[in-house]
Chains A and B, each alone.
Chain A
Amino acid sequence: AIQMTQSPSSLSASVGDRVTITCRASQAIRSDLGWYQQKPGKAPNLLIYGTSTLQSGVPSRFSGSGSGTEFTLTISSLQPEDFATYYCLQDYNYPRTFGQGTTVEVK
């Protein structure tokens, strides 16, 4: 199975900060990478698919980049509703695998 490794596992930030989360795949996965946001007690929510395409309704402060084995999720100006845990997910092959998550906390 492809291993997805996220870094950092957590970070502290303030409203208005630029936040960057990295996801590395154990083998090349083309651009078959999505990002999900999860808030406590809720199901994950799709933010980005195909590495960089925003899901409908997702604010433009979210962006994704990368290819092959290294991918990045960036929040350009952190908003109060963005404090959550973020997961990458590869859809290159089965089994689908998630990263272990990055929790964005209030500084």
Chain B
Amino acid sequence: EVQLVESGGGLALPGGSLRLSCVVSGFSFSNYWMAWVRQAPGQGPEWVANIKGDGSKESYLDSVKGRFTISRDNAKNSLYLELNSLRAEDTAVYYCARDANYQDNRIYYDVYDIWGPGTKVTVS
């Protein structure tokens, strides 16, 4: 069964740190980009960061650049997000998602096709 399960959320002080984890099962983890997407209370989702299958390339949302670090351990089928210098506006449910390329008429599209249930981060 394909499954993503996040953990590590909780309550943090402004300026504090947390480390989120996402354990993956049911597909070849190292073959896929992975992403973190967050959703603040009552708001739409917000893409945060993604990382290539071999860990060689990362991208970040500008507002988290320099504060958050995405990483992965393919031997452990695990994705991570290190959150530092936390701010109240980082309060959200954080989802990990498989970042897949789907082909249609020889064009590739980037989709988030499998998601975890999310882990809640509260900065207060």
A residues contacting B by CB (< 8 A) are 1, 31-32, 34, 36, 38, 42-46, 49-50, 53, 55, 87, 89, 91, 94-101
Q: Are A50 and B62 CB-contacts (below 8 A) given A43-B95, A96-B47?
A: no
Q: Which secondary structure characterizes the binding site on chain A?
A: loop
Q: CB within 8 A of A44: which of B43, B62, B107, B112? A: B112
With both beta carbons as reference points, the residue of chain A lying nearest to B107 in the complex is identified as: A50
Q: Cα distance A100–B39 when bound, in Å? A: 11
Q: Which of A96, A97, A101 has the most CB of B within 10 A?
A: A96
Q: Are A50 and B47 CB-contacts (below 8 A) given A43-B116, A55-B113?
A: no
Q: Cα distance A55–B46 when bound, in Å? A: 21
Q: How many residues of B contact A (CB 8 A)?
A: 24
Q: Cα distance A13–B6 when bound, in Å? A: 35
B23 to chain A, nearest CB (A): 16
B32 to chain A, nearest CB (A): 14
Q: Cα distance A96–B110 when bound, in Å? A: 10
Residues of chain B from 14 to 61 with CB closer than 8 A to chain A in the complex: 37, 43-47, 59-61
Taking A36-B112, A98-B47 as known contacts, 10 extra A-B pairs with beta carbons closer than 8 A to each other, sorted by chain A number, are: A43-B115, A43-B117, A44-B37, A44-B95, A46-B111, A50-B102, A87-B45, A94-B59, A95-B62, A99-B44
A105 to chain B, nearest CB (A): 15
Q: CB within 8 A of A43: which of B43, B61, B110, B118? A: B118
Q: Which of B60, B111, B118 has the most CB of A within 10 A?
A: B111
Q: Would you call B44 and A87 a contact (CB within 8 A)?
A: yes
Chain A residues near B59: list those with CB within 8 A: 94-95
Q: Cα distance A91–B100 when bound, in Å? A: 11
Q: CB within 8 A of B109: which of A50, A98, A99? A: A50
